């Protein structure tokens, strides 16, 4: 199998728009939701989100198209990741793109409804985030857009891995991008799935999720290509497993049969056993059904060892970034393995006794971490698990 390594990281997030600021924010549990300024509280009385504090402003691409927030974030994060990986302009003609987004340029469509903007016809399709990013950064390799709701970022990274393994590209920029959407907030409000206070996965008093926004991008590269150019390696992605609940449009399958299947497929592809996993970033949305179903599934797969897993509930710090969530989790897992530190879960006061996970709070925990698990789930029953390895462990 053609090994795939991570050689560059880039992030735009509510807690920082560089890797070091992002990492410091995770260690400090710094994320705090605030009222989103461009929303009518008469329609949605819970308008708190983890939003990026910058004005809404029109941005025009080289092709003359308006860029929604998702594309703005994607271009910035991808530029950082390419610079981090030291991929120069001359090498970009063969670099591919795989981007996950749930809502695409929904903000531009909302501006049209408000009478404050006039989006192009392309802005109505989620694929424009990937194509716009490729155009802006002159990336001429394979270009893929994934919109499997809140699992999209994980799927895009998996597709990036498979593209390299198949020999269709040596280097891929893969990840997810999401700009805040009033449409998504309104839908979750109607579902009764918004916490009006803070995102608190696995806490007994959680009342739903809280949205975030931003972009997380990884430069993926064949191990051989990385060796030839003496690239710095954060880690590798050794296993990806997919499944679909085929159960309900929004609710997870309570028994966790298919989420467990995705996890086991990822372990099998990585040629690992559950006992080999040292830490995990669960999907952990803060919604009642998802947290209980996921923790029960993890207990089923890992048995008693689930209590030894070092678990970090990422959304407790940056909120639920929708189609970018799985990419944020993969980027964070790469940092955890590279630095040997697991950040503390924020906003956890009393753990729900139905959620059989050992989550630490307060301070980071250091350790010898070799393999990490990432889960990402979505409406439509879309499930994905990924296994990441510390650099040079195989």
Q: List Cα–Cα distances, 364 to 17, 200, 208, 310, 324, in angstroms.
A: 21, 18, 25, 11, 24
Listed in sequence order, the residues at least 6 apart from 188 whose beta carbon sits closer than 8 Å to its beta carbon are 194, 208, 209, 211
Same structural domain for residues 166 and 315? no
**258 in a domain, yes or no?**
yes
**pLDDT higher than threshold 60 for residue 269:** yes
Q: In this predicted structure, what is the pLDDT of residue 357?
A: 93
**133 in a domain, yes or no?**
yes
Of the candidates 105, 240, 279, 283, the residue annotated as catalytic is 283
**pLDDT higher than threshold 90 for residue 182:** no
Note down the domain range covering 352: 239-390
**pLDDT higher than threshold 70 for residue 56:** no
Of the candidates 199, 320, 330, 371, the residue annotated as catalytic is 320
**234 in a domain, yes or no?**
no
Question: Helix, strand or coil for residue 146?
Answer: strand
Same structural domain for residues 195 and 275? no
Residue 347 Rama label (left phi>0; alpha psi -120 to 50; beta): left
What does the block give as tokens for 262? 């995705």
Domain tally, the chain: 2
Same structural domain for residues 209 and 306? no
Q: pLDDT digit string (tens) for 2-25? A: 799 999 999 999 999 999 999 999
**233 in a domain, yes or no?**
no
Final residue in a domain of this structure, among 196, 228, 260: 228
283 is catalytic: yes
Q: pLDDT digit string (tens) for 282-307? A: 999 999 999 999 999 999 999 999 99
Same structural domain for residues 28 and 70? yes
* CATH code of the domain containing 313: 3.40.47.10
Q: Are 386 and 374 in contact (CB under 8 A)?
A: yes
Of the candidates 105, 136, 150, 279, the residue annotated as catalytic is 150
pTM for the complete prediction?
A: 0.95
Same structural domain for residues 169 and 268? no
Same structural domain for residues 164 and 273? no
Listed in sequence order, the residues at least 6 apart from 17 whose beta carbon sits closer than 8 Å to its beta carbon are 11, 52, 76
Q: Please, which pLDDT band fits residue 90 given cuts at 50, 70 and 90?
A: confident
Q: pLDDT digit string (tens) for 93-143? A: 999 999 999 998 888 777 777 766 666 767 777 788 999 899 999 999 999
150 is catalytic: yes
């Amino acid at each position: 199998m053609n090994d795939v390594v991570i050689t560059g990281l880039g992030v735009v997030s509510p807690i920082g728009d560089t890797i070091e600021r992002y990492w410091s924010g995770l260690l400090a549990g710094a994320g705090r939701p605030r009222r989103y300024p461009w929303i009518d509280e008469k329609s949605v009385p819970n308008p708190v989100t983890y939003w990026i504090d910058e004005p809404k402003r029109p941005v025009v691409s080289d092709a003359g198209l308006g860029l929604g927030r998702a594309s703005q974030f994607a271009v910035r994060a991808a530029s950082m990741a390419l610079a981090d990986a030291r991929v120069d302009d001359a090498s970009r003609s063969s670099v591919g793109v795989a981007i996950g987004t749930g809502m695409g340029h929904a903000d531009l469509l909302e501006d049209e409804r408000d009478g404050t903007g006039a989006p192009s016809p392309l802005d109505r399709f989620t694929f424009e985030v990937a194509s716009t990013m490729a155009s802006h950064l002159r990336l001429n390799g394979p270009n893929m857009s994934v919109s499997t709701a809140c699992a999209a970022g994980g799927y895009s990274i998996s597709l990036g891995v498979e593209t390299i393994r198949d020999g269709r590209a040596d280097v891929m920029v893969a990840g997810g991008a999401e700009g805040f959407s009033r449409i998504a907030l309104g839908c979750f409000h109607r579902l009764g799935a918004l916490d009006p206070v803070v995102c608190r996965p696995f806490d007994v008093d959680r009342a739903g999720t809280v949205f975030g926004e931003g972009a997380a991008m990884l430069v993926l590269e064949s191990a051989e290509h990385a060796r030839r150019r003496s690239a710095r390696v954060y880690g590798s992605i050794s296993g990806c497993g997919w499944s679909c609940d085929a159960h309900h449009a929004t609710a997870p399958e309570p028994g966790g049969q298919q989420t467990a299947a995705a996890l086991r497929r990822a372990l099998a592809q990585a040629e690992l056993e559950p006992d080999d996993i040292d830490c995990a970033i669960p999907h952990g949305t803060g919604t009642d059904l998802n947290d209980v179903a996921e923790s029960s599934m993890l207990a089923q797969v890992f048995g008693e060892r689930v209590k030894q897993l070092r678990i970090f509930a990422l959304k407790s710090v940056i909120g639920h970034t929708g189609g970018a969530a799985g990419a944020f989790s993969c980027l964070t897992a790469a940092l955890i393995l590279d630095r040997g530190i697991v950040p503390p879960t924020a906003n956890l006061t009393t753990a729900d006794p139905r959620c059989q996970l050992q989550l630490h709070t307060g301070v980071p925990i250091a350790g010898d971490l070799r393999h990490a698990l990432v889960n990402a789930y979505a409406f439509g029953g879309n499930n994905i698990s990924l296994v990441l390895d510390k650099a040079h462990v195989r």
